[in-house]
Amino acid sequence: MKLVVSQMREPGSLVITGREPWLASIYKEFRTGEALISGTLHYEPRHGGAVRIRGQIAFEPQIGCGRCDRSIPWDLGHTFDLLYREREGDDPRRERDLIREELDFYYIENDIIDLEIVINEQLQLVLPSQAVRRDPTGKMCLVCGDDVSSTLVAGPKDDRSQSPFAKLKSLIPD
């Protein structure tokens, strides 16, 4: 769904049920099972052509366990508060350095804010880099039962003869 900034006169809200067709591209990126994205977005036109978008989304897709890669449900619930501003006389095709204040907002592209991109980005930001369901002690994976405190995932612990450097050493004549 796209918001046309020039047509926004009053603040508004949007309830997301998860069955909106514009969410289909997000669902393709996750193993969703029966999980649907739900939430509420509030948009508010501001002074100078800016738009504030606040909201909360909830989603619990299946993601790969960081230890064994088996599917596990993971809560990606998140609240956010974003500010969109118009570009000020900039050529959007030219690369330029940003100043510190510009890191706190997004630019409006062609008078449109694409809510699918907003939601997808917010979900990607809360997606863990390594998801592991741990027991209460934090030492065991609840999915595969392996010790997650070990740095070695697979293979013999003390067999250094298989290292790449050992193989190089064997190539050097005595």
| pLDDT tens-place string over residues 17-48 | 999 999 988 888 877 678 899 999 999 998 87
| pLDDT tens-place string over residues 68-117 | 777 888 888 889 998 888 877 666 666 766 666 666 777 778 888 888 98
Statement: residue 66 has pLDDT above 80: no
User: What distances in angstroms separate CA 155 from CA 70, 139, 146, 169, one per listed residue?
Assistant: 19, 19, 14, 21
Count how many domains the chain has.
2
Count of Cβ atoms closer than 10 Å to residue 59 Cβ: 25
40 & 6 share domain: yes
- Rounded to an integer, what distance in angstroms lies between the CA atom of residue 51 and that of residue 54? 10
78 & 25 share domain: yes
75 & 58 share domain: yes
57 & 116 share domain: yes
13 & 53 share domain: yes
58 & 143 share domain: no
63 & 145 share domain: no
169 & 120 share domain: no
Section 158-174 average pLDDT: 70
Q: Which pLDDT score, from 0 to 100, does residue 87 have?
A: 74
Q: Which pLDDT score, from 0 to 100, does residue 158 have?
A: 58
- Rounded to an integer, what distance in angstroms lies between the CA atom of residue 102 and that of residue 28? 32
Domain with 110, as residue range(s), is: 2-131
| Six-digit token string for 25 | 């591209």
